[in-house]
Amino acid sequence: MPADTQPMTTRDTATACIALADGTILYGRGFGATGDAVAELCFNTAMTGYQEIMTDPSYAGQIVTFTFPHIGNTGTNAEDDETADPVAAGMVVKWDPTEPSNWRAEARLGEWLARHGRIGIGGVDTRRLTRAIRQQGAPHAAISHDPQGNFDIEALVARARSFPGLVGLDLARDVSCVQSYRWDEMRWAWPEGYSRRETPGRRVVAVDYGAKRNILRCLASAGCDVTVMPATATAEEILAQEPEGLFLSNGPGDPAATGEYAVPMIREIMDKTDIPVFGICLGHQMLARALGATTVKMNHGHHGANHPVKDLETGKVEITSMNHGFTVDSQTLPGGVMETHVSLFDGSNCGIRMTDRPVFSVQYHPEASPGPQDSYYLFERFVASIEARG
User: Is residue 281 annotated as a catalytic residue, yes or no?
Assistant: yes
Euclidean distance between CA atoms 75 and 106, whole angstroms:
7
Catalytic residue among 281, 284, 300, 318: 281
Catalytic residue among 140, 145, 307, 365: 365
Euclidean distance between CA atoms 341 and 322, whole angstroms:
13
Query: 152 Cβ partners below 8 Å, 6+ apart?
Result: none
Looking at the DSSP bridge assignments, the partners of residue 322 are 304
DSSP run (H or E) holding 261: helix 255-272
CB atoms < 10 A from the CB of 264, how many?
Answer: 13
Q: Is-contact 361 381, C-beta < 8 A?
A: no
Euclidean distance between CA atoms 216 and 23, whole angstroms:
42
CB atoms < 10 A from the CB of 148, how many?
Answer: 7
Helix, coil or strand: residue 223: coil
Euclidean distance between CA atoms 372 and 369, whole angstroms:
8
Euclidean distance between CA atoms 157 and 155, whole angstroms:
6
Adjacency order of strands within the sheet including 295-311 = 181-183, 224-230, 202-208, 245-248, 277-280, 359-362, 349-354, 337-343, 295-311, 317-328
Q: Buried (b) or exposed (e) across 32-59, using 16+ Cβ within 10 A? A: bbbebbbbbbbbbbbbebbbbbbbbbbb
Maximum Cα interatomic distance, the chain, rounded to a whole number of Å = 69
Q: Is 273 exposed, middle or buried (0-12, 13-18, 19+ CB in 10 A)?
A: middle
Nearest to 284 by CA among 331, 318, 319, 250: 250
The CA-to-CA distance between both ends of the chain, in Å, stands at: 63
User: Is residue 224 annotated as a catalytic residue, yes or no?
Assistant: no
Please give the positions annotated as active site: 281, 365, 367
